[in-house]
A and B are shown apart, each in its own frame.
Chain A
Amino acid sequence: MNNFTYTRAFEADAALKVIAENSVQHISSRFLAGGTNLVDLMREGIDQPQAVIDITRLPLAEIEEAAGGGLRMGAMVRNSHLAAHPLVRERYPLLSQAILAGASAQLRNMATTGGNLMQRTRCYYFYDGAARCNKRTPGSGCDAIDGFNRIHAILGASDQCIATHPSDMCVALAALDAKVNMSGPGGDRSMTFTEFHRLPGDTPEIDTNLRAGELITSIDLPASTAGLPSLYRKVRDRASYAFALVSVAAALKIEDGKIREVRLALGGVAHKPWRAFAAEQLLQVAEPTVEAFTQAAAAELAPAVPRGGNGFKIELAKRTIASVLSELAAAQGVRQ
C-alpha cells in the first residue's frame, strides 16, 4: 500500500471541500468509510490514492421516516444497524435479509450504506496485478473471458469485461425502487438505483455514474415497495461468508389470486445489480403459476451469454427465480 495523507471530515461540506481542493491540485483522493473494500484494494495496490478523506464521522448515520411512508437511510449507517433497524425489518425485510446474507458480522459492523454501493468486483483477475484486466488497467485485455470465470457475469457483459458486482444489499435496493442521493461540486442530485451502477461496455473501469468529487449522502426507499411480501435467496459455494453465485431479491404481492405487485432483481449475474424488468413485465399480466414464473425467468435469462465456467448460472438463475416466486406465492395461499 502506498502512503497517503489522511483527513478526517466531520461535515459533508467539509469533505466535499477537501476533495474539491485536492482535485484542483491534481491530488487523487478517495472518501474512506467502512474500509472493508477500499483498504483491501489499496493494500493490493489496485487503488492508490494520494489522499484519503475519512467520512465515517459525517452526521449521515440516521435512518429517518420519509413523508408518505418511505425511509431515508444515511450513507454512513452501518450495514448491521440497517439490517437490524425495526423500521427496515418491518417495511423492507428484503433489504434486511439481503444485508444479512452478505459478508460476515464483523464486516457488516464496519461497512456503510454508501460504501456498499461503491464495492468493486471480486473478479480474481481484477485483484491480481499480474493479470490482464480492462477494469484495472483499461486496454490491457480481460483474462477472465477465457480463464476461470465460474463466478462471472452472464447478463449485460461485454467483450471488455465480464465482472460482477458483489453486493447483496444492492440487489434488494434495486428491487425495491430505491433512489440514491448525492452531493457534489454541481450541488445535490439523485438518481434511481438502477441508474447508479453501470454495465461494463467499453469503459469497464467506471463502475457507477457517480461523478468525480461527489459524495453519496443517503438512499431513499419509497412507500410503494414498503410491506410487500418478499424474499432474498442467495446461492453460493459455502453456507455462509461467500459471494453469491446467483442471488434473487423478489417482492411479490398477490391479491384475489392475481399478481398485484412484482419486483425482481438478481445478484451475481452482472456488472450491476440486475433488475429483472423483462420478467417483471411478463409477470404483471400473468397468473401466479409455476409455469408463469418459469417463463418469466426464461425470458429474463434469454439474452444470457455463457462464457465457459459460468454457463451453469443461467439455469441456476432460472430455477432460483422460479422457486423464490413460487415460495412467495405459496406463502400467500396460492397453491402451486
Chain B
Amino acid sequence: MPVSNELETVTLHVNGVEKVLLIEPRVSLLDALRDHLGLTGTKKGCDQGACGACTVLVDGERINSCLTLAMQYEGRAIVTIEGLAASGEMHPMQRAFIQHDGFQCGYCTPGQICSAIGMLTEFRSGAPSAVTGEGATPSELTDEELRERMSGNLCRCGAYVGIREAIHQAHGEMAR
C-alpha cells in the first residue's frame, strides 16, 4: 500500500499575516498553529472535538481547530488568541475574563475567549440556540442562552460562573 510522504505547501492567513508552511496533509490546523507557527496560545485538550480548548475564529466563526486539516483552511482568515490583542491593547473579552476570574489554570481560557467572541457574533446575527424559542429571535443574552451557547468549551477548573459574568460584561461593553 503506497503511503504518501509528500509534503505540501499551504498558505495560511493567521492574525492578519500570511504564512507559508511545508507540511504533511495530515497535519491538523491546531498542530500547524502550535508546532509549525509557534502559536501555542491555541490549546490541545482532547484532539477530538470534545473540549473546545482548540477553538479559533475562521472568517469570524468559531471552530475546533483539532478536527480539521490545515490544508482545508488555506486562504481563510484565521484569528487565534494571539491575534485578539491587536496593537497591544487587550480585547474587552480578555479584560473581562481577568476581572471576573473567568479561569483558574488558564489552559481552556484561549478557547473560551475565542469561543465567546464567536458566540457573540452568532447571537447578534439572530442565530438561535437550542434554548431559543421556536421561530424566536434571541433578544436578550440570558444566562440560559449563555450556558447553552458556551457548552462546547469545557473548563475542568469549573470557572463557568466567572466565564458567564465576564461574557455578560464584554457583551455590554462591545455593544456600546
Residues on A lying within 8 angstroms of B by beta carbon are: 1-6, 8, 27, 32, 34-36, 39-40, 42-43, 50, 52, 54, 56, 80, 83-84, 89-90, 93, 96-97, 100-101, 103-107, 109-110, 238-241
Contact = CB atoms under 8 A, between A and B. Distances in A.
A63 B152 CA distance: 26
Contact of B127 (A3, A54, A80): A80
B26 A4 contact: yes
Contacts of A93: 134-135
Given A3-B26, A105-B119, A110 B3 contact: no
A40 B67 CA distance: 7
B99 interface: no
B16 interface: no
Contacts of A240: 130, 147-148, 151
Contacts of A101: 130
B15 interface: no
Contact of A241 (B2, B132, B152): B152
Contacts of A42: 26
A110 B68 contact: yes
Contact of B122 (A50, A80, A89, A104): A80
B contact face: mostly helix, strand, loop, or mixed: loop
A89 B49 contact: no
A3 B134 contact: no
B62 A39 contact: no
B134 A6 contact: no
A119 to B, nearest CB: 12
Interface string B49-82: 1001001000001111011110110100000000
Contact of B4 (A4, A34, A90, A109): A4
Contact of A107 (B24, B47, B149, B152): B152
Nearest to A84: B127
Contact of A106 (B64, B69, B129, B148): B64
A107 B64 contact: yes
A109 B135 contact: no
24 contacts: A3-B3, A3-B24, A4-B3, A4-B25, A34-B68, A35-B67, A35-B68, A39-B66, A40-B67, A42-B26, A50-B4, A52-B69, A83-B127, A93-B134, A97-B134, A104-B52, A105-B129, A105-B149, A106-B49, A106-B52, A106-B64, A106-B152, A107-B67, A238-B151
A243 to B, nearest CB: 11
Nearest to A110: B63
Given A43-B48, A100-B128, A107-B67, 8 more contacts: A4-B25, A6-B25, A6-B71, A83-B128, A90-B135, A104-B152, A110-B64, A238-B151
A35 B48 CA distance: 10
Nearest to B58: A109
Contacts of B151: 104, 238-241
A252 to B, nearest CB: 14
Which of B66, B67, B147, B149 counts the most chain A CB atoms within 10 A?
B67
Interface in B103-147: 115, 118-119, 122, 125-130, 132, 134-135, 147
